[in-house]
Each structure stands twice: as structure tokens, then as C-alpha cells.
């Protein structure tokens, strides 16, 4: 039996999945690490935490599965985009990585958007906001010039971890789009945008295919992980495309709806759909793209609510299920860190609106679930305008495991939502490793052998009608409060 290892680096933890050539998952492991919030609106991660998490996960996978390290034929990594690791002349991180939810570069993004916004979206296929690396580097240039001066290499998180494993200084063609430093039309780094960031394009990595084979694991990496030189290491790709892949969406017209730290609706197309309200990336399947909408604080809102007001997810959901639709007039807007689609506004903030004396904590529990779903409906309306809205989708992310939340979302979007056994991005990376190693003949073959449907949630006509009517109130509240958020 041949095995393939996929490792994901998310917002709060890393997860590893061991996949067999028979399409079955043989072991999983996870390891948490912190995200630091040194100031309001800031979010940072220590790249060393990611490497330590990989080592722990791989060691645990080997222990759990009792699979011989020599039988692990290929390894692929993935992580969230827009999180740049800056390395000094000794290949050590020059500072903590600015995580993609960080909003400190909002002034730089606003200035850049005003001066070059139309040009950037035309060349980079994405609109300027604080989640991209370019404005983050501009912030560093203006506020930490010594950091920019000593930076000799720039890598995305998963590329840094892989650099530690093999010594290869590269990135893949999907990850490269997340820097907003790439001329996406020609797949080359832009000299002009690099100059705006205060960097020489030569310090950016060469761009290769996600399935391209790399150097063998170094002696130090083999000692750390327990793997052998038999393991093929490939370039890998981003977390979103890997979870889309793991959900089985490899054909035009398919789609995913994600309830995770961030929320996304991604439609698979055969061309780049360029619009300032979308985030547009290449797919690992040749010739395909996955333009999508994004809401910043999806499951992050639920986690914030739990951590702030107490209770477990299961308890909060159970209580929420006893409350009628609409929470008897209580609304929640999930803009804890600003919002992406459709507002592109870092200054928006979260709020509960319409609270009355009879509302209980259970009402607030449900309001959070509904508020995120309303935000996803806001995203769906954008896709409808662009004529790429899905008619069905696969629900993915941790939040999709909640039957209540999934039904609320299903009614809100008015489309069937399928579920699969495992749509984790680390599974997608393991599948990609299997394709690169030749165990799966194609991406379609990998999906056929590894993706296992588990069920379908259908829209409830009463719920669809109810949320359709209440959505206008949700929009009116957002429009009324937006100017106040800007004044805060």
C-alpha cells in the first residue's frame, strides 16, 4: 500500500491527513498554535509555530497509523494565503507574519485603491484591500523600514515550512496570486508593484506548478519528522483550493459553500471572473478557476461569541435550535474585523440590533448563526449579479457539521447543500500528492476514489420565504450603521 500525506496550516491549528492509494483516510492529527493580537485590528502568527506543528503532526500520524515511513510516497502542504513570512540573510523570520485578517494596512490599501485600483484589478485579477500582501508590505515600508531593509526572501506560510523541509525557495502559481504582486495575465512578478512595496522582485520566489516535484527531505527534516528520503515533496497550493478539491469540485458549474473561520462561496468556472467584490484564483485542475465571495468572520463569529459569553458549541447550538426563525426581531451583523464581499470595508463592525427585554441568551445564540448566514446570502446576491451563482453546492468547513446551521444556510441561499465525509484541505493536499506520485491518474480519478458523499440538505420553503423577506431588514441595518462605524 502506498500512502500520501497532506498537511494544512489554518488560522488556529495545523491538521495532517494520511491517505492510502485505495482512497481511504488512515490517520489524522492536529496541533493548535496561537494567533497574536498585539493591537486592535492586528493579527500575527509565528512561522516557527507552523513548522513545530508539522513535526508534531507527522510524528503523531506515524505513531497512530503504524505505517512505515518508507511507505509514505508523497507529501503536500497548504495554508491560508496572504500571510507572508519575511526572512533575513540567515533565512530566519525577520518578524512575525502578518495574518490575512489583519487590518492595519487599511490606510495603505485605501490609498493604493484610489491611485491604482482599476489597474491592479485588471492585472492582478483582484481588488485592493488590507488582506493582501502588497498593502501589508507598504505598511511595513512606512512603519518598520528596518524590517523591509533586512528582508532577503519572502515566502507564504506553507512555502516557508516546505523551505525548512527541502531547502527549495519556490511558490506555486495559485499561492502567488495572493500577494497582489503578480501580473496574473503573464504569471510573473510585477516590478512596479514590488517597487511600491519597497522590495526587489528578485527576493520573491520562482513560480511553479502545484504538482511539481521538489528536492528530497533534508537530513534535518528527516530527523525532525521521522520521514525518509523516499517521500516525494511537491509544491502544493492554497487551503481554499485544496478544500474545494477535497469536496470534489473539479468541473465547471460545481461549487462549495464554506462555514469556517471565514465564509466563502466558490463557483468553478473555465475563466477568470474579475470583479472587485470577488476573490479570484486558479484551480489546480488545468484551465479552471474558482472565483468566490468571502465574508471575513464566519465561524470566527461563533467562536468569538462562545469565548466571550461562555458555553460549548454543542450547548449553544442546542439552545439556538429552540428559538424560532428570526430570533423574534434580533439581528446580528458579523463584521468583527470589517467585511469583504460585497462591501470591501475594513471599518465595518459587528453588532446585535433589536434586542428586547424578553430576549434570552438562546436568542443571541441563534442570531449569530443567522447573522453569518445573512452575510453569506449577501455574498450569493453578488454571484447572482455576475451570473455565476450555483444552483447547488457542497457545504464544507467545521460549521457545516451543524445540522441547524446548515439548514439555516440552506434556506437562506435557497439551494441544496450536499455534504461529504471529509472536505478538509489536508485531505485535498494528500489527494494532490497522490496525483503527483502517479497513484491517481487524474484529478477526476482522485475525486472518484477519495470523495465520499454523506447526505443532502434541502431548502425548506417556509424558511426560504421567511429569510427572503427579512433580508431587506438586514441590509437596511447595515446601511444605517455603516456611517457610524466609520466615525467610531
Separation CA 196–CA 132 (nearest Å):
13
User: What does each C-alpha distance from 358 to 231, 353, 355 come to in angstroms?
Assistant: 60, 14, 8
3-state secondary structure 150-188: HCCEEEEHHHHHHHHHHCCCCEECCHHHHHCCEECCCCE
End-to-end CA distance of the chain: 60
Q: For residue 40, what are the contacts with CB-CB under 8 A and spacing of at least 6?
A: none
Catalytic residue among 102, 168, 239, 378: 239
Cβ-contact 320, 366 below 8 angstroms: yes
Task: Determine whether 239 is an active site residue.
Answer: yes
Nearest alpha-carbon partner for 464 in 396, 409, 417: 409
User: How many C-beta neighbours within 10 Å does residue 177 have?
Assistant: 26
3-state secondary structure 78-127: EECCCCEEEECCCCCECCCEECCCCCCCHHHHHHHHHHHHHHHHHHHCCC
Helices (H), 182-310: 191-197, 219-225, 239-246, 299-309
**Active site residue ranges:** 239
Amino acid at each position: 500500500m502506498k500512502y500520501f500525506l497532506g498537511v494544512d496550516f489554518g488560522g488556529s491549528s495545523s491538521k495532517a491527513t494520511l491517505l492510502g492509494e485505495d482512497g481511504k483516510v488512515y490517520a489524522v492529527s492536529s496541533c493548535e498554535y496561537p494567533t497574536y493580537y498585539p493591537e486592535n485590528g492586528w493579527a500575527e502568527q509565528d512561522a516557527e509555530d507552523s513548522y513545530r506543528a508539522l513535526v508534531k503532526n507527522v510524528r503523531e500520524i506515524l505513531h497512530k497509523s503504524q505505517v512505515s515511513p518508507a511507505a509514505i510516497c508523497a507529501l503536500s502542504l497548504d495554508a491560508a494565503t496572504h500571510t507572508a513570512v519575511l526572512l533575513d540573510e540567515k533565512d530566519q523570520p525577520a518578524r512575525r507574519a502578518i495574518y490575512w485578517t489583519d487590518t492595519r494596512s487599511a490606510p495603505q490599501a485605501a490609498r493604493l485603491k484610489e491611485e491604482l485600483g482599476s489597474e491592479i484589478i485588471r492585472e492582478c485579477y483582484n481588488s485592493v484591500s488590507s488582506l493582501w500582501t502588497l498593502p501589508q508590505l507598504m505598511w511595513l515600508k512606512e512603519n518598520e523600514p528596518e524590517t523591509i531593509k533586512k528582508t532577503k526572501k519572502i515566502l507564504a506560510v506553507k512555502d516557508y515550512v516546505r523551505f525548512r523541509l527541502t531547502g527549495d525557495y519556490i511558490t506555486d502559481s495559485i499561492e502567488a496570486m495572493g500577494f497582489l504582486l503578480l501580473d496574473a495575465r503573464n504569471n510573473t512578478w510585477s516590478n512596479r508593484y514590488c517597487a511600491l512595496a519597497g522590495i526587489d522582485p528578485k527576493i520573491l520566489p520562482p513560480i511553479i506548478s502545484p504538482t511539481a516535484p521538489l528536492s528530497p527531505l533534508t537530513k534535518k527534516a528527516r530527523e525532525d519528522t521521522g520521514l525518509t528520503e523516499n517521500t516525494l515533496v511537491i509544491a502544493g497550493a492554497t487551503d481554499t483550493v485544496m478544500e474545494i478539491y477535497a469536496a470534489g469540485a473539479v468541473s465547471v458549474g460545481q461549487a462549495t459553500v464554506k462555514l469556517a473561520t471565514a465564509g466563502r462561496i466558490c463557483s468553478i468556472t473555465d475563466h477568470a471572473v474579475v470583479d472587485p467584490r470577488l476573490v479570484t484564483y486558479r484551480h489546480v485542475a488545468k484551465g479552471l478557476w474558482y472565483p468566490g465571495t468571502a465574508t471575513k468572520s464566519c465561524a470566527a463569529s461563533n467562536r468569538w461569541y462562545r469565548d466571550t459569553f461562555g458555553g460549548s458549541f454543542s450547548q449553544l447550538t442546542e439552545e439556538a435550535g429552540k428559538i424560532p426563525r428570526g430570533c423574534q426581531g434580533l439581528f446580528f451583523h458579523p463584521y468583527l474585523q470589517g467585511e469583504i464581499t460585497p462591501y470591501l470595508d475594513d471599518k465595518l463592525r459587528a453588532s446585535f440590533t433589536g434586542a428586547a427585554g424578553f430576549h434570552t441568551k438562546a436568542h443571541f445564540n441563534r442570531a449569530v448563526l443567522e447573522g453569518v448566514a445573512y452575510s453569506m446570502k449577501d455574498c450569493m446576491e453578488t454571484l447572482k449579479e455576475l451570473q455565476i451563482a450555483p444552483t447547488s453546492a457542497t457545504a464544507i468547513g467545521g460549521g457545516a457539521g451543524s445540522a441547524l446551521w446548515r439548514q439555516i444556510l440552506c434556506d437562506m441561499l435557497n439551494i441544496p447543500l450536499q455534504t461529504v465525509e471529509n472536505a478538509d484541505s489536508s485531505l485535498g493536499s494528500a489527494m494532490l500528492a497522490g496525483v503527483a506520485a502517479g497513484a491517481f491518474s487524474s484529478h477526476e480519478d482522485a475525486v472518484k476514489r477519495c470523495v465520499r458523499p454523506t447526505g443532502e440538505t434541502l431548502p425548506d420553503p417556509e424558511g426560504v420565504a421567511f429569510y427572503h423577506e427579512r433580508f431587506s431588514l438586514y441590509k437596511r441595518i447595515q446601511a444605517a450603521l455603516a456611517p457610524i462605524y466609520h466615525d467610531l
